[in-house]
Structure 1
């Protein structure tokens, strides 16, 4: 009976590892924090800029225009995300 529990324990440890790993790497996997820090470096509303940039970066698999004044056309996904009101969602 004890031998039957060993594979179950190992399986549960593996599943737990992958769940924790995926939650940690959701936005940090793409370097969104650093990219958004650069993108929002000259923003008047920095906290809001970082929040929305992080959301957009995660949805666009890490694509963020490089620099505060970079053209959004560099990242079509980032450029095309719209808010509920139809305005640009990404700073």
Structure 2
């Protein structure tokens, strides 16, 4: 009986992780036509809106992912996070 409860708990933990991944998005979770809307929100709080939108859309087209929020959370999209400029700085806002 104890073995059954551990299996049930493990199943629910895996299920919760899978649902969380689907809700949050992640690498490749967007379609190319969804990039503009995601980048509009990502760049909504910046004073440098045009450059932010340009680079965000370029990154989204390559990675098919935009981190949630208007700043940070880049760990949600490794491709977006790891794309660097020639100087080694982040390419994606």
Structure 2 residue corresponding to 1:87, chosen from 85, 89, 93: 89
- Bigger Rg, which one: 1
Aligned residue number for residue 63 of structure 1 = 65
Normalising by structure 2, we get a TM-score of 0.63
User: What is the count of residue pairs matched by the alignment?
Assistant: 63
Task: Give the 5 Å matches for 1:1-91.
Answer: 29-60=32-63, 62-91=64-93
Distance apart, 1:85 and its partner CA: 1.1
> Could you list the runs of 4 or more consecutive aligned residues of structure 1 that deviate by over 3 angstroms after TM superposition?
none
* Cα RMSD for the two superposed structures: 1.3
Q: Which runs of 5+ in 2 are unaligned?
A: 1-30
- TM-superposed CA distance for 1:70, in Å, is 4.2
1:30/1:66 CA distance change after superposition, 3 Å: farther
